[in-house]
Structure 1
Amino acid sequence: MNTSRQLAEVERHDILKYPHRLNFYDKPPLDDVTIEEFEVCALNRLRILAEIESCYARNRPFDELCSITRKQCEKYLPMDASTSKTDLDAQRRVDHLGHFVLRLAFCRSEELRRRFVKAETALFRVRYDLEGQVAPLDRRAFLNSRAFAWVQVDSQEKAMYASQLQSSSLGTKDEEYYKVFCPPLTTFSVAQQYAQVKWTRVPDLVEKRRVFLKGGWAYVPSRDQSSIVFQEFQMNLEKALEITAKALPRLDEDTRLVPLLNNLSQGFLAGVPSEWNATTAGDEIKADMVDELARKHFPACMRNLHDNLKRDHHLKHFGRLQYGLFLKVLGLSIEEAMLFWRRSFSGYTDDQFNKNYKYNIRHSYGLEGKRANYPAKSCQQILTMDQPGSTDNHGCPYRHFSPDNLQTALLSMYSAQGLTSADIPEILSTVKAGHYHVACTRVFEITHANRGVKKGEGVGGGESITHPNQYASRSRELEKAAVEAAKVEDGDVVMAG
C-alpha cells in the first residue's frame, strides 16, 4: 500500500470519537459512567503509572522503562492502531476515562500533581515513541491535528546558519539512540528539516546543547521535535490539574466518589495498586510448616510478625489480623490455623484462648459474623491503614521502622539468603524516597539471586511487589522450579551412568 493510500485510511478514522491513540486529553468525558467502570478504568491506568514510578525509583534506563510500560499497557490498556478493525472507540474510551478519573484523585496536593504529571508524561512519551515505530502515519496524523506553533525553517535560512546547525547535530551514540526511540517525523533527513520555536519551549534541548540558539529562538531538528510535543503535553496537564483542583470542592458532598478518590490517591502515594487475588488460598500448608516457610519465603512485614509471635507468644489485634489473613491465603486451613495459633499462644489456658481469640480466627475465615471471605491485606492497605503504635508489630517495616532498626531487622531476617551490609545503603536510599515497595522488591531480588532472579526483574517482567502473598507465592514457585530442575538433572545423570 503506498503512502497516500495509507494516509487516506488513517484519515478515515477521523470520524471516530477518539481518532488517535495519542491524546492530550483536552476534552473531559461527557458520557454516562457507572461507579464500577469509573473505578476499574482508574485502577488499570494507575497500575501502569505505578510501574513507571517504580522504574524511576530504580533508575532504570529508558529502554527498560519502555519495555515494562508497553507490557503493562498491553495488559491493562490495550489500544490498537487506527487501521485495526477492532472497536477503537471502546478501547480509547477506557484510556480517556481513566486519565480524567485520576486527575480528580491527584489534583489535591502539589506533591500528587508533580508525581502524576511526571508519570503521565512518561506514559505519553513511551506511546509516542512506539507510535513512531509501528504506526508512523498514525503519529503524523495526530501531529497534524494539533497546532504546535512551530515554524519550519526555509532553505535560505538553513543555508545562512549551516555551520551552526551542523555543529549542534548529535554524535554517533545519540544518533543510534534516536534511531530506536525517536524516528524522524518525516521522510526528510534530520540535517534538512528544522523547526523554529521560542527557546523556553525546549529547555531540555538547550541544557544538552542539542539546538542552535539565535535571538531567543531555538532551531530544533526534526528528530528532536518530539521534545516540543512532550513539553506541551506536560504544560497542558499541569494547567488542567490546577483548574481541576479549584473545582474539586464541589465533589466533597458526593459520598459515592470521594471515598473512591481518596483510595486512589492513597494508592498512588504508596505506589502499589494491587490486582493480587487475595481471597483464593494457595496449596494447603500445615501448622508445622509455617516456621520454615517464614524463614525461606516471607516478606519483611510477615517475617517480623512471625518472629515477634515466636518471641512473645502473642500478637495484638491488628498484628493477628494482618498475619492471620496472610496465612489463610497462603493455604492454612481453619483447622490448621486453630492449631497454629493455639500453639503460638502457649502462655494462655484453653479457656482464655477460646474466649478471647477463637471467635476472631473463625471470623476471618468467614465462619462467624457476616461470614465474609476476607482477603489478605495488600501492601497498599498495610502502608496506609491502621498505622502501628510504639507497642504494635503490624505495618510495613520499610515505612514504620527507623533506618537503624530496619537495617538490623533486614540483616537478621535475610543474611542467610544472601543479603549483606553492602546492600543496605541502596535499600535505605529507596526507603528514604518513600518507595517502600521498591525496597521490598529489591530485597526479593537479592535473596532470590541464587534462583536466577536478576536485578530489575522483580517478581517477573520487572514488576514490583504489590502484596505480601505475591512475594511468598513467587518465592515458593522459584523454589519449586529449582527442585524440579534438580530432579531432572539428577535423572539425566543416572541415565548417563
Structure 2
Amino acid sequence: MKRVYPNQVVPADAAARKLFNGDDLGLTFYTHPPNAEVSVRQFEDFTASRLKLLHAIDRACNSQELRLEAMKEIRPKLAREFRDSGLELGYPETPGKTQSFRIDKLDFQGRDNISHFALRLAFCKNRDAREWFLRQEQRLFVLRFEALSPEARETFVESVGLECTRFQDGDYEMISLKKLQATTPGARIWVEGSRVPQYELNFYVMPFREVPERLISGRRVVLHRGKAFVPASLLKLVITRRFKESLSAALDVAFQGQHVAMIDPRVGGFLRVLQEHGMELVAPRSSSEELSEKLSLGNFEQLLSRSFPPCMRRLVEKQRETKKHLKHAGRLQLRPFLKACGFTFEDSCSWWRKELCRDPTLTSEKFEKSYLYDVEHAYGKKGHLQGQNCCGCPAIIASPGEAAGQVHGCFFKQLEPSALQQQLQRWQVPIATMLEIQRLIKEGKHYQLACIEYFKSQHPSSDGEGVGNSPMDFLRTSCRYHKAQKATSPKDLAEPQAIEG
C-alpha cells in the first residue's frame, strides 16, 4: 500500500476507499432470517423488485449460457436494473459520507434480506423453481463479490469459514509465485491487442476439497500435498460453490416450513402467486392509478388499435374476422377487461350484443336468452353480486391451450411462430422487434417481456415501464403515454373514431 506522509494531501476518493476498503457491502450467505418490521406493501415491493432483477440477470445471461466466471461482462448491461431494484450498494466516494453510507447499508441489508427470504419461500416448492432461483442467486452473488475490494473479499471468505490464506513466496519449498504463474492456465490474463499474457499476482491456498471439481479436472489450479493453489480470479467460483450449498440446504428447510407463511393472511396470497407464476413475473403488482382515458362506445375503435394489449385486441379482431362468436374462455377473459377499462353496464350490453350477433347463427333473441346473464354477472347484478375482476398476466399465461374454434389466453404463448409473425406484421411491428420477441419466446418463454417489446414498438421512446403484469397495466400505461404526447403536440393526434357500423 502506498505510504501517506504528514501534510500530504490525499484525494477524497482515495481516502474514502482507504476508510471503507474492508467493508463487505452487505454481502451475505443469508443464514439469519430478517428481523425487521415492514408494511405489507413494502414486503411485496421489495420482493417484486428482486424478482425483476433476477429475471433481468437471467435474460442478460441468455438463460443458461453464460458461465459464472464471465459474469463481469454483463454488469454494465444491468446498471439500470440494479439501481431500480434498490439492491445495489457501492463504496462511498468521499470520507464525509460515512454516516450516510451506514444508513444506506442498513436500508440495503433490510431490503436485501426480506426480498431474498420471501423468494426463498416462493421458489422452494418444486425442482424447476429451485434450480432457477439457485442459478440466479448465484449469479447475483458473483456480481456482488466481484464488486468488493480485494481486502473485503479476503475478510468475507474468512467470515464464512473457508480455510484460505494468501500465498506468500517462501512459504513452500518447491513452489514459487513464478512457478504458479507458469503452470496455472487460470493465472494467465489476456489483454485485448496484446500477444503476451499478463499473470495473476495473487494466489490463495486452501484444502483441495474446497475447490469445484471442474477447476481441478480442467487443470486450472495447482494441487500439492492436499492443498490447492487458486488464482485470485477464480476465488469467486470457490466461494460461490459454498454459497450454493448453503442456499440449497436452506431451500430444504424453507420447504418444510412454507405452509406457515402460506396461511398468513397478510402475505400468503402474494407468496402463492409467486409460487405459481414467479418464473414469469417481471413487474410489480398492478397499479391502482385511475385511467387517464376511459373506454366508451365512442372511442372504442381508437383505443382498440392504439392501446389494447395484444391478448385483448386479438379476441376482438378474431371474432370480427371469422364472424364466429367467442367461446366461453374468450368471453370470460374479455368481459371484465372491458368493464375495468370504463365500459358502463349499458355500454357492455350494447357492445356484446352487436359483436356476438356478427355470427349469423346468433340472433338478438338468443343473446338475451343465453349471453346477457354473463354481462349482468360481470357487473354484479346477478349471481353472487360481486362482479368479475380483470385477470392478470400470470393467470392469462396459465390458461389452457386453445381447442378448435377457441381464442383466449396469452397472445405470445398461444400462437405458433409463423402465425405470430403474420399477426405482428399486420399490426405493423418492426422486424427488429419481431426478432427480439421471437428470441424471448424461444429462449426462455418470456411472454411478458415479449409483450413489453411489443408495447415499446407501438409507443416510440417509451421504455415499457409499468407494463407486463396485467392487461390493465398495458392500457393504463398506453393512455398515459398518449396523454403526454397530446400535451406536447396536440395537433398531431387524430380525433376519436366512431364505432363500426
Q: Are 1:6 and 1:137, in contact at CA under 8 Å, matched by a contact in 2?
A: no
User: Do the aligned partners of residues 159 and 130 (structure 1) sit closer, same or farther apart at CA in structure 2, a change above 3 Å counting?
Assistant: closer
Find the residue that maps to 2:468 and give its secondary structure. coil
Structure 1 residues 269-300: Cα deviation after superposition (integer angstroms, max 9, x where no partner) = 33445423267334134325434543454443
Does residue 1:466 correspond to 2:469, yes or no?
Answer: yes
Q: Which amino acid aligns with 1:281?
A: L
Aligned counterpart, 2:31? 26
Find the residue that maps to 2:52 and give its secondary structure. helix
User: Do the aligned partners of residues 271 and 432 (structure 1) sit closer, same or farther apart at CA in structure 2, a change above 3 Å counting?
Assistant: same
Does residue 1:270 correspond to 2:287, yes or no?
Answer: no
Does residue 1:400 correspond to 2:403, yes or no?
Answer: no
Does residue 1:170 correspond to 2:189, yes or no?
Answer: yes
CA RMSD of aligned residues (A): 4.7
Does residue 1:233 correspond to 2:243, yes or no?
Answer: yes
Q: Are 1:266 and 1:384, in contact at CA under 8 Å, matched by a contact in 2?
A: no
Deviation at 1:371, TM superposition (A): 7.1
Does residue 1:384 correspond to 2:384, yes or no?
Answer: no
2:338 to 327, 330, 334: 327
1:15-164 superposed matches below 5 A: 21-29=26-34, 41-57=46-62, 66=75, 69-78=78-87, 83=98, 84-86=101-103, 88-89=105-106, 91-132=108-149, 142-156=156-170, 157-164=176-183
Deviation at 1:100, TM superposition (A): 1.9
Q: Are 2:280 and 2:446, in contact at CA under 8 Å, matched by a contact in 1?
A: yes
Distance in 2 (CA, whole Å) between partners of 1:422 and 1:87 is 39
Distance in 2 (CA, whole Å) between partners of 1:413 and 1:75 is 31
Q: Are 1:279 and 1:329, in contact at CA under 8 Å, matched by a contact in 2?
A: no
Moved more, 77-86 or 155-164: 77-86
1:306-325 superposed matches below 5 A: 306-310=316-320, 311-312=322-323, 314-325=325-336
User: Do the aligned partners of residues 293 and 217 (structure 1) sit closer, same or farther apart at CA in structure 2, a change above 3 Å counting?
Assistant: farther
Aligned counterpart, 1:302? 312
TM-score normalized by the length of structure 2: 0.71
Q: How many residues align?
A: 455
| Gapped regions of structure 2 (runs ≥ 5) | 1-11, 92-97, 171-175, 493-501
1:197-236 superposed matches below 5 A: 197=206, 198=208, 201-202=211-212, 211-215=220-224, 218-236=228-246
Structure 1 residues 115-137: Cα deviation after superposition (integer angstroms, max 9, x where no partner) = 001111222233334455xxx87
Find the residue that maps to 1:325 and give its secondary structure. helix
TM-score normalized by the length of structure 1: 0.71
Q: Which amino acid aligns with 2:448?
A: H
Find the residue that maps to 1:280 and give its secondary structure. coil
Distance in 1 (CA, whole Å) between partners of 2:141 and 2:223 is 30
Does residue 1:193 correspond to 2:207, yes or no?
Answer: no
Aligned counterpart, 1:434? 445
Structure 1 residues 227-255: Cα deviation after superposition (integer angstroms, max 9, x where no partner) = 3232322232123223444x248659947
Deviation at 1:148, TM superposition (A): 2.7
Q: Are 1:190 and 1:222, in contact at CA under 8 Å, matched by a contact in 2?
A: no
Structure 1 residues 24-77: Cα deviation after superposition (integer angstroms, max 9, x where no partner) = 111234678887766555334323323333434478995785356553444444
Deviation at 1:112, TM superposition (A): 1.0
User: Do the aligned partners of residues 229 and 357 (structure 1) sit closer, same or farther apart at CA in structure 2, a change above 3 Å counting?
Assistant: same
User: Do the aligned partners of residues 172 and 373 (structure 1) sit closer, same or farther apart at CA in structure 2, a change above 3 Å counting?
Assistant: farther
Q: Which amino acid aligns with 2:80?
A: K
Distance in 2 (CA, whole Å) between partners of 1:327 and 1:64 is 45
User: Do the aligned partners of residues 34 and 299 (structure 1) sit closer, same or farther apart at CA in structure 2, a change above 3 Å counting?
Assistant: closer
User: Do the aligned partners of residues 415 and 351 (structure 1) sit closer, same or farther apart at CA in structure 2, a change above 3 Å counting?
Assistant: closer
| Gapped regions of structure 1 (runs ≥ 5) | 14-18, 176-188, 490-497
Deviation at 1:485, TM superposition (A): 7.6
Q: Are 1:276 and 1:466, in contact at CA under 8 Å, matched by a contact in 2?
A: yes
User: Do the aligned partners of residues 289 and 254 (structure 1) sit closer, same or farther apart at CA in structure 2, a change above 3 Å counting?
Assistant: closer
Q: Share of identical aligned residues, percent?
A: 20
More helix by share: 1
1:343 to 354, 359, 381: 354
Structure 1 residues 408-442: Cα deviation after superposition (integer angstroms, max 9, x where no partner) = 24413433514569956971773474332234344
Find the residue that maps to 2:278 and give its secondary structure. helix
Q: Which amino acid aligns with 2:296?
A: K
